[in-house]
Structure 1
């Protein structure tokens, strides 16, 4: 709901400002046995994807629309179809971080909509570890509040929340994160648009903050996420990278395989635009070199996208690091691949010390070192961008 509040929004928010939003999800998970002494269920936390929507009206545009939000495990949030936040950053499960973002640039007079894809991993990844569950928290959820002029929009049971079967869970093929398997034919068409009809979607479920020692306040902070912490860095961004050997536009029928070389190691979300019949399967494997991808074969596939028919766009939920992409396409009538690129998601490097000399080898060493630092600068410094 949108609630009136006399407070002036703080930017960035002070962490001690109380939350008005509540944790919401598509269902109420039962994670522990009742009683004073509780124990986790044997396997209560399976991977899931939930689509969130909240439509609202604006008679005039606010000068700023300050929002803070977080999720368990990760979210991609959009306003009127424009992505405004990806997060939260990695953290300890009991010190969960939240994003801070100004929504004003994406708002318009009239009907607006906030949407989010929220992914709960279920099992640990290299960048996420599950929280120790309470009875209803610790198996997915989203929390949001936004100042819209003189009102506040908060996460509650006036949102719509749809458990989405377009994604299929699969185990990780190695030491990296789990693959993303998306059948876009099962995605509600136009679901991020303000005028999309969500009347048949179920209402979101509020996740009660109930646990031993609970003080009665249903708003954060509380177990299992602790005192929520403001995101200490900006949203990740970077250069759009494309293969140095441009892929063909038209791909003939049958099973076809293409090898795409990006010329250097890149790290970010993979974007693909295609046009063709419904049901065409695109599978992508990645590696640092040709021999890496060839050695692993189809076991290294981290993306499997099934097209909905007609023009469509795919962007991976998580960042992937690689130099070589191996694309396998299966179609009966052929398909057009109009775009395959990487939107790098790196911590912006501030201006500072530079290096230049008359020795081109030393200049090159400096450039390679700087690029190595950049590509290992995500929401934390990592040892290898291709993990």
Structure 2
């Protein structure tokens, strides 16, 4: 894709078939509604262009409700749009230079209306004509614009069977394609679309007023915005090994996916053959005997993208597929099942959705011998413009850094998502970790800039939903209140790294309303209590009943963040309000302190302090700046006493390892203290460890972090290519576990902004026991390189910087290269 200058007003009109997924007004829906009978439907579009000569310049912009896949002269160029709010939509741009030729050209699109909410799509309000499927596009040919209108030809695509989500928690969209009903040449030049219908132009219309515009800009989305994040990129991932087993006694007839899921689950439960090594070069075709076969393909690592299968098989051959974290029936519970029925020629299946996992299972039923010509995953991830990687004299830390970056890559699509192998939801709180990694280690900042804006979709009462632009964004799902506080930290970090005052000013009213939502639960002591929703904090059993110390500390940090942002904007009134609320929480927080235990207790219930003590409360209080000087030594001792720390995750039995995501005890059930609360401290899971590390940095213990980051080494035992969600179980790849990629740059190499926008950097290496360490950090002006060799420090920076030695002495340096002593 490439940017061009487009007119503000669109020429291309909203078009669809003559049967959008809309129902007229009724007693229950007086303003009209979506029609579930037309959900998950696809429409084929074609536009032939007769050109005397190949154009010098050619651009295209396109958007759709819900999805599109774009083809030019038979070649797929891309898909979209990115996930978006119900009343906003983005458009994509493509360069067509070199794709168009003199003579006949064809621009073809598959449009899809989802209807069913998914983890990455949220329905928009409907009118009589919009909100049930639509497409708009414009092609600029040497300055002349050709837009979508009734001259485009359309045909409803019967090859795909509409599928509904498998359940409330397991909602990855599934796909069933009968290729016998889709001509392989439909997007090519020379294809006869004479029996197709003219496109139907959709005119904006509502219950009041005359019929309105036909072009983008009106209800329900307003003017489409240019896509703010870079196009997804990634290479083709090929398998490492393949095993073939008997496919069992029962056939799948290809009519629906539920029976295919059940058959795959039964076969996986019987422990099918798992490949132990490559039977040959899997980049080459593999001949498979006819009959019913189960294929288990190992990609050797977690991958995320679109599954591609090419087979040479007889017409009617059925293929049921799922990409899993592990080759188990429990893993299948979290995955989408894909179905394909071969046409008998030109059989290439490219999955519509991005899926993730390591193990691909295929149940194939073929009448005769057939050939697996290709199996691969086309990775589609946000781009990472890499900086020099962290390297040291401890190869374990180097590997942890590399796997942390890969974990962040896999969990970064058009938004930061939790786990590419399961939900792919844009959780409001999770992404605080992904964003920190990208600002530190990725020179492409389009996604860390966009993330807080995407997530800024408050409920009417001011708090943010637990996810953005997805099924759980509905008000019917209770929110996670602390996730909104982590979002405020994202806004603060956005200011630190980019200095973008305009973006911060846009988000400040949302941040203020989030904090005012909490004010309705404040008692006379200044603390919030019995906050509704799901107060999660972390997967460890940190106690949150009554007055939660961890939640109040996170709230205090958010008030301080907002105060600092308001001061940077010159908003003294909002700053004073936030400072006052921060001080009030600081005063009330003293009630959690237990002098005998030498720690803050986690709760106060009915006026009595609870028994539990956690890293979460201690670390969040330090980061919030509400720990008095006289308590800092005790808090430091608690955070450094690693022998007293224990963790426990409710996810240990949920997921690919044992039970599926909805089996067993609900993960929201939190263990009451059954441990020695006078000796043991509830430890943070990977998600909350960044706050623990930030606290130790503030307490002057930054040199301890290289040793603490070695905890991630244990996660590599059963998931060696990406970091798991928890120390005990959970997803095999989760973006919130990627924090070592940030910490080794920001804390160990000590590279962070000294002024908003990185116009001056602060460099304070704290390598701890490491003798040698090197790497780079991203800035808008290029990378900052730091090399530590003993006490010698070499720095190359594109901007001025302040160096801080081990004793805290500061020295100022101009941009360029410098050598100093630690």
TM-score (norm 1): 0.91
Q: Does 1:139 align with 2:132?
A: yes
- Preserved CA contact (<8 Å) 1:84 1:103: no
User: Partner of 1:385 in structure 2?
Assistant: 420
Spell out, residue by residue over 1:56-108, the C-alpha distance to the aligned partner (whole angstroms, 9 max, x if none): 11112222212111011111101101222210000102111110111123111
- Preserved CA contact (<8 Å) 2:23 2:35: no
In 1, Cα distance between the equivalents of 2:15 and 2:391?
A: 53
State which drifts further: 265-274 or 211-220: 211-220
In 1, Cα distance between the equivalents of 2:53 and 2:232?
A: 30
Q: Does 1:25 align with 2:16?
A: yes
In 2, Cα distance between the equivalents of 1:43 and 1:327?
A: 30
In 1, Cα distance between the equivalents of 2:98 and 2:367?
A: 43
In 2, Cα distance between the equivalents of 1:344 and 1:297?
A: 21
In 2, Cα distance between the equivalents of 1:214 and 1:352?
A: 56
> Which structure is larger by alpha-carbon Rg, 1 or 2?
2
In 1, Cα distance between the equivalents of 2:68 and 2:32?
A: 28
Q: Does 1:367 align with 2:399?
A: no
- Preserved CA contact (<8 Å) 2:90 2:225: yes
User: Partner of 1:4 in structure 2?
Assistant: none
Change (3 A) 1:373 1:178: same
User: Partner of 2:375 in structure 1?
Assistant: 340
> Displacement, 1:28?
4.5
User: Partner of 2:362 in structure 1?
Assistant: 327
> Displacement, 1:13?
3.8
> Displacement, 1:376?
0.8
State which drifts further: 101-110 or 120-129: 101-110
> Displacement, 1:45?
4.7
Q: Secondary structure of 2:323's match? A: strand
User: Partner of 1:185 in structure 2?
Assistant: 180
User: Partner of 1:120 in structure 2?
Assistant: 113
User: Partner of 2:678 in structure 1?
Assistant: none
Q: Secondary structure of 1:372's match? A: helix
In 2, Cα distance between the equivalents of 1:42 and 1:192?
A: 29
Q: Secondary structure of 1:374's match? A: helix
Unpaired segments of 5 or more residues in structure 1?
1-9
User: Partner of 2:164 in structure 1?
Assistant: 171
Spell out, residue by residue over 1:231-270, the C-alpha distance to the aligned partner (whole angstroms, 9 max, x if none): 1123211021111104671121211001111111110000
> Displacement, 1:135?
0.4
> Displacement, 1:383?
1.1
Q: Secondary structure of 2:98's match? A: helix
In 2, Cα distance between the equivalents of 1:319 and 1:365?
A: 26
- Preserved CA contact (<8 Å) 1:13 1:230: no
Q: Does 1:273 align with 2:310?
A: yes
> Displacement, 1:223?
1.0
- Preserved CA contact (<8 Å) 2:16 2:200: yes
Equivalent of 1:241, from 221, 233, 237? 237
In 1, Cα distance between the equivalents of 2:150 and 2:209?
A: 25
Q: Does 1:229 align with 2:264?
A: no
Identify the structure with the greater strand proportion.
1
Change (3 A) 1:312 1:45: closer
User: Partner of 1:210 in structure 2?
Assistant: 205
- Preserved CA contact (<8 Å) 1:289 1:323: yes
In 1, Cα distance between the equivalents of 2:199 and 2:59?
A: 23
In 2, Cα distance between the equivalents of 1:126 and 1:295?
A: 20
In 2, Cα distance between the equivalents of 1:334 and 1:58?
A: 46
Q: Does 1:159 align with 2:137?
A: no
In 2, Cα distance between the equivalents of 1:205 and 1:75?
A: 17
- Preserved CA contact (<8 Å) 2:307 2:378: yes
User: Partner of 2:104 in structure 1?
Assistant: 111
- Preserved CA contact (<8 Å) 1:31 1:44: no
- Preserved CA contact (<8 Å) 1:270 1:343: yes
- Preserved CA contact (<8 Å) 1:47 1:169: yes
Spell out, residue by residue over 1:93-147, the C-alpha distance to the aligned partner (whole angstroms, 9 max, x if none): 2111110111123111110000011111111000001111010111111100111
RMSD: 2.3
- Preserved CA contact (<8 Å) 2:55 2:101: no
For residues 62-73 of structure 1, the aligned pairs below 5 Å read: 62-73=55-66
> Displacement, 1:225?
2.0
In 1, Cα distance between the equivalents of 2:295 and 2:140?
A: 48
- Preserved CA contact (<8 Å) 1:31 1:133: no
> Displacement, 1:332?
1.3
Q: Secondary structure of 2:180's match? A: helix
Between 1 and 2, higher relative CO (CA 8 Å, sep ≥ 6) is seen in 1
Equivalent of 1:49, from 17, 42, 47? 42
TM-score (norm 2): 0.44
- Preserved CA contact (<8 Å) 2:47 2:107: yes
- Preserved CA contact (<8 Å) 1:85 1:235: no
Change (3 A) 1:172 1:238: same
Change (3 A) 1:178 1:301: closer
Change (3 A) 1:18 1:205: same
In 2, Cα distance between the equivalents of 1:232 and 1:12?
A: 14
In 1, Cα distance between the equivalents of 2:114 and 2:369?
A: 34
Spell out, residue by residue over 1:283-332, the C-alpha distance to the aligned partner (whole angstroms, 9 max, x if none): 102211123xx336699552111110034211111110111111110011
Identify the structure with the greater helix proportion.
2
Q: Secondary structure of 1:167's match? A: coil
Equivalent of 2:289, from 252, 262, 265? 252
Change (3 A) 1:73 1:314: same
